[in-house]
Structures are given as structure tokens and as C-alpha cells.
């Protein structure tokens, strides 16, 4: 990780953006937003304008604290988040992407139960695990 020396690295704001972008990946919201957020995280990590990035972090921390104060809580002020946190996040991301490639999530037309089906199996008959309704599907 010597490549990151002299650059800003990751802070809690980056982690937050990364989590949002991961979350958006599973919603129906266009992927573009998620991609843009990831791009911001990468840009911030490699940025050498440490002053400006710290200011962004300050703004973010105080905005979050304004909300947290209502619950008598406070965000710890953390500049660089340990890089050891990053690899597990990517492992998780890789796992999620793999799942998305391998499986297709569909809703049962009868009861709305979400079902996970293997992709690229051609025409299959699906039996809903909740209501036992059967329906044809192309995966």
C-alpha cells in the first residue's frame, strides 16, 4: 500500500460513500449514481490536496453530528481510516458481484416472495418456496 503515501487515503466519509454506493447497487436506482460515488471515493483516496479533503471530512462530520446530537451521540473524529479495513470491503463487494452474476432475483407473481434463481439455465419452472405457486421463467 506504499502507493498511497502522500495521498489523502480513506476517511470515514469515503467509507460512508462506499457503503452508499454498495447499497445503491442493489436498489433499482441507476447504477450511474453508484459508479459516481465510487469514483469520488477513489478520487479522494488518491488526492494530494489533503487540506481540501480534510475540509470535506469536517463538513461531513459536523453535518452528521448535527443529526446525532438529537440522539446524544457523536461521530468520532477520524481522519485516515485504517487501510486494513479496505480489503474486507472489496472481498465483500466481489462476493456480491459474483452473486449478481450467478443468480437472478425474481418476485413470485402470486405472493411477491423474492426468489433467488440461477442464471443462464434457459426456460425453467419455478416453484415458490412460500406459496408453492409454479411459474415459467427464462433465466
Backbone angles phi and psi of 78, in degrees to 5: -125, 120
Contacting residue, 35, 100, 133, 134, with Zn ion by CB under 5 A: 133
* Per-residue cell: 17: 460513500
Q: How many residues bind Zn ion (CB under 5 A)?
A: 8
**Residue 105 contacts Zn ion per CB under 5 A:** no
Element (H, E) at 17: helix 12-24
- In the complex, the smallest distance separating the C-beta of residue 104 from Zn ion, rounded to whole angstroms, is 16
Contacts (CB under 5 A) with Zn ion, residues 55-94: none
Instruction: Record the cell numbers describing residue 74, joined without a space.
Output: 457523536
Per CB under 5 A, the segment of 8-16, 18-26, 59-67, 130-138 that binds Zn ion is 130-138
Q: Is 68 left (phi over 0), alpha (psi -120 to 50) or beta?
A: alpha
Angle at 76 between CA 73 and CA 78, to 5 degrees: 160
Q: Which residue, 47 or 113, has its beta carbon nearer to Zn ion?
A: 113
Say whether residue 107 binds Zn ion (CB under 5 A): no
Grid-cell match 469515503, residue found: 14
The correct pick among 56, 113, 117, 139 for binding Zn ion (CB under 5 A) is: 113
Give me the residues that bind Zn ion (CB under 5 A), please. 108, 110-111, 113, 128, 130-131, 133
Amino acid at each position: 500500500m506504499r502507493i498511497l503515501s502522500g495521498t489523502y487515503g480513506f476517511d470515514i466519509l469515503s467509507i460512508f460513500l462506499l457503503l452508499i454506493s454498495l447499497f445503491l447497487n442493489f436498489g433499482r436506482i441507476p447504477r450511474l449514481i453508484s459508479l459516481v460515488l465510487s469514483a469520488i471515493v477513489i478520487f479522494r483516496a488518491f488526492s494530494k490536496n489533503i487540506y481540501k479533503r480534510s475540509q470535506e471530512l469536517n463538513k461531513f462530520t459536523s453535518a452528521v453530528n448535527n443529526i446525532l446530537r438529537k440522539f446524544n451521540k457523536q461521530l468520532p473524529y477520524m481522519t485516515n481510516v485504517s487501510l486494513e479495513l479496505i480489503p474486507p470491503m472489496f472481498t465483500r463487494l466481489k462476493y456480491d458481484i459474483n452473486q449478481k452474476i450467478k443468480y437472478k432475483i425474481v418476485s413470485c407473481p402470486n405472493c411477491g416472495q423474492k426468489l433467488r434463481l440461477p442464471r443462464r439455465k434457459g426456460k425453467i419452472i419455478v416453484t415458490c418456496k412460500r406459496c408453492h405457486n409454479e411459474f415459467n421463467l427464462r433465466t
